[in-house]
Amino acid sequence: MYCPPGLGIAILAGAAIALINDLPAMLLSVSRLMFAWAKDGIFPKAVSKIHPKNRTPYMALWAAGGMASIGVLGSHFAGDFFLGIDIMVTSMMVNFLLMCITLVSIGKLNPALAKRIGVIKNRTMQLLIGWLGIVTLTAFLIIHTYKDMVAETTAWYFHSTPIWLIVMGVASGIFVYNWVRLTKNEPHLKNRFLQLPEE
């Protein structure tokens, strides 16, 4: 299907504006997550450093920004701007899917914390929303992955799915290694995330 050059530029400009709009929130959220992991000992302690003047986790911000830049450069050298967007879409769908699974299972895993959910307190409605999200997101994820894998590319690494799996595999390996090391030295951390925070 033919696409006029002007229309293609407009589409790319719209996508760029949307990404720029989301960039501050994504950078801040990722950096704070990395900061929390570093505080817990899962990431290197250097990532938890706080700027003496601005009181911001500047090392985590630099690390998050650096990894995002690597992703942008990778998409550029691959010659496909939407490769990075596809990876981000996969990550977001998996993230929201895990949230829905948490909503469905939190009643059994952590009943005390489940009772503190304040947005929708009705448990039946929570389960309905959770299961609806699980079914819908799973369907979208399957479609998205299938379209990516059947797309014609010059090399396997131009598919977003294997790149996402490799990155997640490496990251999960780092997490598991550090988690095992931490819980071996400090057994009380094993159930840390299943306990209700003290008031």
Mean pLDDT of 31-45: 82
pLDDT (0 to 100) of residue 103: 92
119-137 confidence digits (pLDDT tens): 888 889 999 999 999 999 9
60 within 8 A of 38, measured Cβ to Cβ? yes
pLDDT band at 198 (very low <50, low <70, confident <90, very high): very low
What pTM was estimated for this model as a whole? Answer: 0.69
Mean pLDDT of 33-58: 85
Q: Which amino acid is at 87?
A: I
Q: CA nearest 47: which of 26, 69, 21, 67?
A: 67
Q: Is the pLDDT of residue 199 over 50?
A: no
164-173 confidence digits (pLDDT tens): 999 899 988 9
Residue 198 tokens, joined:
């003290």
pLDDT band at 5 (very low <50, low <70, confident <90, very high): low
Cβ burial, residue 184 (10 Å; 0-12/13-18/19+): exposed
Q: Is the pLDDT of residue 193 over 70?
A: no
Within a 10 A sphere around the Cβ of 60, how many other Cβ atoms? 26
Residue 164, C-beta contacts closer than 8 angstroms, at least 6 positions apart: 87, 90, 91
174-185 confidence digits (pLDDT tens): 888 888 887 777
Mean pLDDT of 76-104: 83
Block residue for tokens 């079914």: 135
